[in-house]
Amino acid sequence: MSPSSLSLHSHSVFTPRTGLTVHRRPLLPSQSLVFCSAKPAVSSASNLSVSDPSTIDAAARIGSLSQVSGVLGCQWGDEGKGKLVDILAQHFDIVARCQGGANAGHTIYNAEGKKFALHLVPSGILNEDTLCVIGNGVVVHLPGLFKEIDGLESSGISCKGRILISDRAHLLFDFHQQVDGLREAELAKSFIGTTKRGIGPCYSSKVIRHGIRVGDLRHMDSFPMKLDDLLLDAASRFKEFNYSLDMLKKEVEKYKRYAERLEPYIADTVYVMNEAISQKKNILVEGGQATMLDIDFGTYPFVTSSSPSAGGICTGLGISPRVIGDLIGVVKAYTTRVGSGPCPTELFGQEADLLRSAGHEYGTTTGRPRRCGWLDIVALRYSCQINGFSSLNLTKLDVLSDLAEIKLGVSYKHVDGTPIKTFPSDLSVLEQVQVEYESLPGWKSDISGIRNYSDLPKAARNYVERIEELVGVPIHYIGVGPGRDALIFK
């Protein structure tokens, strides 16, 4: 898609039903960018009735979000970001991924309750008027991407003209996944616990300036030499990696076919994003993974290989920090993480099993059982400081419904009892911290059918409000189930 072929047209309408100004939605053909008319601000998919006062509050809450907003994870991933993105996408023109790759697993449900597990395609894809952008900061595994697209298309979700992929994004090859597994095996007991999707090796190729980008598929004359260099490098590093010229030939032939299929999706997304911003289009950024897995700010080295915190938005999409407005942090009502690394509030035995079972805590990407524990306020406060969240989405509050007592990890101490004022970077300290807990009464009742905050049991409201008090950020969205409508606006 050439910049000269992009044309952005837009206007707004005032809807008497809600009293909100609604920006028209985009629907993009593969060779031109034209924003078309759309649905009203409040979608029927959310099952909200306009006659209900809480509906107007919900519409106003979403309508008040800034032109460029973001949804980021606060913990170690798996917080339920995809669901909020799916809901908010009905009110945004563009949903964009800025970092990570197929190691992100976002589970969403359509209006009929059908489940979709997305890894590369942004979670706005279920909303037919939303353009989905995969930015330059994402690493793209084409076989996986095409599998996702085929699955969506077979379920009646049109992807044609609705997905743009940055020509600057790096390609993740099958051999990157093989190298990921070899690297983990080499680390033995100190393994990272990656998804083995090749994310780290692909970012390594990028950082040492040895990677292959999406735009390189347009130059198949030089592509074989670049791929040969990458494969030779892997073979020289790992003796178990078997490389041959026949392997190279097969890969090149495969990517010739991929290049032809991918061409309609490729765009200069930096141009697309900045043109959309200048013409007042509404953009929602969808983060993958989460702050505690950030390559700089997370529990290094047990982290991902990208920046899932706020800074990754600018570097992963090519947009200015000045245009970024509201950032919503998504936090689970308790703590989970997969893979290795410290998890200060982790529970073990029966307590952990109860949370894991009630919350269905198994990885979307790997199926691995997640480690579970009480909500870590220290980590959450640290995440809020780094990202400057304007509000939080507390998810899976319903999972705590059967507990008579709930705990919050409110502070850390050294083994000698001296207080720790921040989230430690030193893992030897973090692995030995003594967590001070605050106990709150549970509510022992099913809340999955509640849609108004005032209808929650008092103990549930106390829990929500105590979290707000401890971290200093308001909770505006509360998840009480997996469905699209299982969301309370506060």
Residues belonging to the active site = 78, 106, 206
Between the alpha carbon of residue 180 and those of residues 44, 141, 187, 202, 252, the distances in Å are 44, 14, 11, 9, 21
| Residue 79 marked in a binding site | yes
Q: Is 83 marked as binding a ligand? A: yes
What's the rounded Cα separation, in Å, for the pair 455 and 256? 58
Asked if residue 304 belongs to a known ligand binding site, the reply is yes
Q: Is 480 annotated as a binding residue?
A: yes
Q: Is 105 annotated as a binding residue?
A: yes
The amino acid sitting at 113 is G
Does residue 107 have a known ligand-binding role? yes
Instruction: Establish whether 81 is an annotated binding residue.
Output: yes
365 marked as part of a ligand binding site: yes
How many residues make up the chain in this entry? 490
103 annotated ligand binder: yes
Question: Residue 248: CA atoms inside 13 Å, Cβ hemisphere, count?
Answer: 15
Q: Which residues of 183-202 are buried (b: 16+ CB within 10 A; e: fewer)?
A: bbeeeeeeebbbbbbbbbbb
77 marked among binding-site residues: yes
461 is in an annotated binding site: no
Instruction: In whole angstroms, give the CA distance from residue 292 to residue 470.
Output: 18
* For residue 224, cis peptide bond before it (omega within 30 degrees of 0): no
Does 403 appear as a known binding residue? no
396 labeled part of a ligand binding site: yes
371 labelled binding-site residue = no
Using alpha carbons, select from 42, 33, 38 the residue that is nearest to residue 11: 38
The two structure tokens encoding residue 44: 């029927």
CB 7 within 8 A of CB 34: yes
Beta carbons of 412 and 420 less than 8 angstroms apart:
yes
CB 99 within 8 A of CB 312: yes
> What stretches of 136-287 adopt beta strand conformation (E)?
139-140, 163-166, 170-171, 266-267, 283-286
The Cα–Cα gap between 54 and 211 comes to 50
Q: According to the annotation, is 124 in a ligand binding site?
A: no
Is 78 flagged in the annotation as binding?
Answer: yes
Q: Is 315 annotated as a binding residue?
A: no
Task: Say whether 368 counts as a known binding-site residue.
Answer: yes
- 422 is annotated as contributing to ligand binding: no
d(CA 431, CA 156): 48
Distance between CA atoms of residues 291 and 302, nearest Å: 12
Q: Say if residues 126 and 85 touch (Cβ distance below 8 Å).
A: no
Q: Is 24 annotated as a binding residue?
A: no
Separation between Cα atoms, residue 358 and residue 372, nearest integer Å:
11
Contact at 8 Å (CB) between 248 and 228? yes
Which parts are annotated binding residues for IMP? 78-81, 103-106, 195, 209, 289, 304, 368
Which parts are annotated binding residues for substrate? 364-370
Which parts are annotated binding residues? 77-83, 103-107, 195, 209, 289, 304, 364-370, 396-398, 479-481
Which parts are annotated binding residues for GTP? 77-83, 105-107, 370, 396-398, 479-481
Which parts are annotated binding residues for Mg(2+)? 78, 105
